[in-house]
Amino acid sequence: MSSTPDSSIQKPDEDNINHLHWFLKGARGIASIPALVLMSSFIGFAGFAREAGFTLGETVFMVGTIWALPSHLVLVGGVIAGTSTLTILIGVSLASVRLMPMVMAQMPLLRGKNTSRWTLLLLSHFIAITSWVFLQERYKNVPVDARASFFAGFGITITVVCTILVGFTYALAGTFPPILAAALFFLTPVYFLTSLWGAAYLLSDKWAMIFGLILGPLVHMVWPDLDILLAGAVGGTLAFGIARLQQNRKGQSS
């Protein structure tokens, strides 16, 4: 029997956890603020992908299979800019590498005594920034062995709802006047501009964002095909270096 600090809310017979109950409880998280912000950004993404020339089927497929907005951004942004396939592939890999530590941090919380590795591998597809934030706040109220079901409820529901929402918005966007289509497209960069800065809790993340914003368009004018990779590598390295120097200086003065 696993005993955890929050055992007070666990049922005495842990094998009798009602998984459907916890699944539905997780699914109810669709009515939370982080979920609503995510839904509105996917509404924007539908317009973004449409203006980029993707079909309805491709756009919906992309949302369900990839399920990570930074990857969507790099993929669609790359197609818009006419970036080569290899650069997009590397760019998507680099943009989504942060999912790995996120999943790693989530696993010990998610794993109950009967949770199989296959379940965890399957569930990991639904881990993205929003579900991460959502779960971090709510785990303590869910019994350990019910967490996989709780997370599945939230993760699968929000993925399905957003995918359907993207389909509807895409179909509707055809009837929008150009000014609305433009505003819808604009949602994506503005969402990232704000949420990325909001998520940047390290000094290096903030510098990285500033360098990326400056270097992206600059490198694009000189070397359009490798612009995002160069801006990422150079900007990230500079940011990392400056943040370390600043920390060292702070360490010496105090």
Partner 1 sequence: MSFGINWIEAWWWPYLFILLIGWLPTDMWRVLGVILSGGIDENSQMLIFVRAVATSLVAAVIAKLILFPAGSLAITPVELRIFAAVSGFAVFNFVGKRVFAGILTAETTLIGGAWYLGVF
Residue nearer to partner 1 on the CB measure, 237 or 246: 237
Distance (Å, whole) CA 192 – CA 77: 13
Per-residue x/- marks for partner 1, 200-239, CB under 8 A? Answer: x-x-xx-xxxxxxxxxxx-xx------xxx-xxxxxxx-x
Phi, psi of 84 (to 5 degrees): -70, 155
Cβ count near 111 (within 10 Å)? 18
2, 18, 20, 100: residue in contact with partner 1 (rule CB under 8 A): 100
Q: Is 24 exposed, middle or buried (0-12, 13-18, 19+ CB in 10 A)?
A: middle
179, 251, 252, 253: residue in contact with partner 1 (rule CB under 8 A): 179
Q: Is 97 in the site for partner 1 (CB under 8 A)?
A: yes
Tokens 């590498």 locate to 97
> CA nearest 162: which of 34, 75, 54?
34
Q: Is 147 in the site for partner 1 (CB under 8 A)?
A: no
**Residue 181 structure tokens:** 């289509």
Least distance between partner 1 and beta carbon 105 (Å): 5
85, 175, 253, 254: residue in contact with partner 1 (rule CB under 8 A): 85
Q: Is 62 in the site for partner 1 (CB under 8 A)?
A: yes
Q: Is 61 in the site for partner 1 (CB under 8 A)?
A: yes
Distance (Å, whole) CA 79 – CA 60: 16
197, 223, 248, 250: residue in contact with partner 1 (rule CB under 8 A): 197
Phi, psi of 181 (to 5 degrees): -60, -40
Residue nearer to partner 1 on the CB measure, 20 or 223: 223
Distance (Å, whole) CA 129 – CA 67: 10
19, 51, 159, 161: residue in contact with partner 1 (rule CB under 8 A): 51
17, 30, 45, 91: residue in contact with partner 1 (rule CB under 8 A): 91
71, 149, 163, 169: residue in contact with partner 1 (rule CB under 8 A): 71
Q: Is 131 in the site for partner 1 (CB under 8 A)?
A: no
Least distance between partner 1 and beta carbon 86 (Å): 9
Q: Is 16 in the site for partner 1 (CB under 8 A)?
A: no
Q: Is 104 in the site for partner 1 (CB under 8 A)?
A: yes
Distance (Å, whole) CA 175 – CA 177: 7
Distance (Å, whole) CA 65 – CA 162: 12
